[in-house]
Amino acid sequence: HLGSVAVLGSANMDLVTQQPRLPLPGETIAGSTFTTGPGGKGLNQAVAARRAGVEVTFIGAVGSDGFGSELRSFLDHEGVGTDTLRTIEGPTGIAIVSVVDGGENSIVIVAGANGADDISAADEAGIRSSSLLVAQLERPLTLIEKAFALAKDGGATTVLTPAPVDADAVRLLPFTDILVPNETEAIELSGEGDAQSAARALSRQVGIVVTTLGAKGAIVATGGEIVATVAAHPADAVDTTGAGDTFVGAMVAALARGDELSAALAAASAAGAIAVTRFGAAPAAPTREEIDAFLAEA
């Protein structure tokens, strides 16, 4: 079953406000803009992989509200397979993102339907018919554990982005073939003091660790040793949100097509560099043609 990817993850509606500062407890302040858009790490990775040119099955859950139908239409429009996207009575997952003028983001996530933790027969079929299963940590750990066990049983490659980082995620490492943490996640998951030591330590517990380092690229570790580095491409970054998810999406798309890891990581680095020059997460993900053109020029 070369050629297809299953993404198990969250789908959120992002509700984004911009304001001069965060309100104090009990205070009401005026914001300047409000936008809504599809988000969630699962949805972002599914869209990035699809745009990078593979068939994608999204194993997810939305609520029975208007946000749920909007997210379903968005995924359909992107060409992501939604046979395994369930609608669960109740609210869709949301992220309330408060952007302060010229500064930091504060985010509140409410899981809603993303909290569903059972695997349906359709989910199982989706996992068994894919060559790679990709997950992040915005769905229940028990669900990911069950799905990874099924994937391994069927001979698929499992890929984990350990974000938002959770110490309990070490439970998933025995079922993980490729772990893709960023620097902070690697350090937190391993208990080591720096990215290099963290990568070496984690690579004794999983097949391959690809630690992303933002504008500094990525390092690859296996068997307790750092075996390769992935160069980042210079980019005029305007919004780095979702760079990591785009990187993973492009990487798994290339792997599903049968590319070697080194070629898949070159495509991933190009996709990340393109994504940071655009606003948003899923909407910033490049197509396969854009990735190939970027690599040809670089």
Binding site for ligand ATP (CB under 6 A): 182, 212-215, 217-218, 232-233, 235, 237, 240-245, 247, 269, 272-273, 276
List the beta strands (DSSP E) in the chain.
4-8, 12-19, 33-39, 55-63, 85-88, 93-100, 105-110, 132-135, 157-160, 178-179, 208-212, 218-222, 225-230
- Residue in 236, 245, 259, 292 annotated catalytic: 245
In whole angstroms, the minimum distance from the beta carbon of 230 to ligand ATP comes to 7
Beta carbon of residue 290, minimum distance to ligand ATP (angstroms, whole number): 15
Q: What is the number of the residue whose Cβ is closest to ligand ATP?
A: 244
Asked if 219 and 227 count as a contact pair (C-beta separation under 8 A), the reply is no
Instruction: Clarify whether 245 is annotated catalytic.
Output: yes
Burial class (CB in 10 A: 0-12, 13-18, 19+), 136: buried
For residue 104, what are the contacts with CB-CB under 8 A and spacing of at least 6?
none
Q: How far is the CB of 268 from ligand ATP (least distance, A)?
A: 7
Cβ of residue 2: shortest distance to ligand ATP, in angstroms?
Answer: 25
Decide whether 127 or 230 has the Cβ nearer to ligand ATP: 230
Of the chain, the end-to-end C-alpha distance in Å amounts to 32
CA–CA gap between residue 271 and residue 264 (Å, rounded):
10
The DSSP string of 31-92 is -SEEEEEEE-HHHHHHHHHHHTTSEEEEEEEEESSHHHHHHHHHHHHHT-B-TTEEEESSPP
Q: How far is the CB of 236 from ligand ATP (least distance, A)?
A: 9
The number of C-alpha atoms within 13 Å of 62 and in the hemisphere containing its C-beta is: 25
**Closer CB to ligand ATP, 4 or 182, in the complex:** 182
Minimum Å gap between C-beta 54 and ligand ATP is 19
Contact indicator for 136, 42 with CB cutoff of 8 Å: yes
Max Cα distance, the chain (Å): 55
Q: Which is nearer to ligand ATP, 4 or 44 (CB)?
A: 44
Nearer to ligand ATP, 13 or 243 (CB): 243
Considering beta carbons, is residue 8 or 210 the nearer one to ligand ATP?
210
Considering the complex, state which of residue 75 and residue 276 has its C-beta at the smaller distance from ligand ATP: 276
> Which residues carry out catalysis?
245
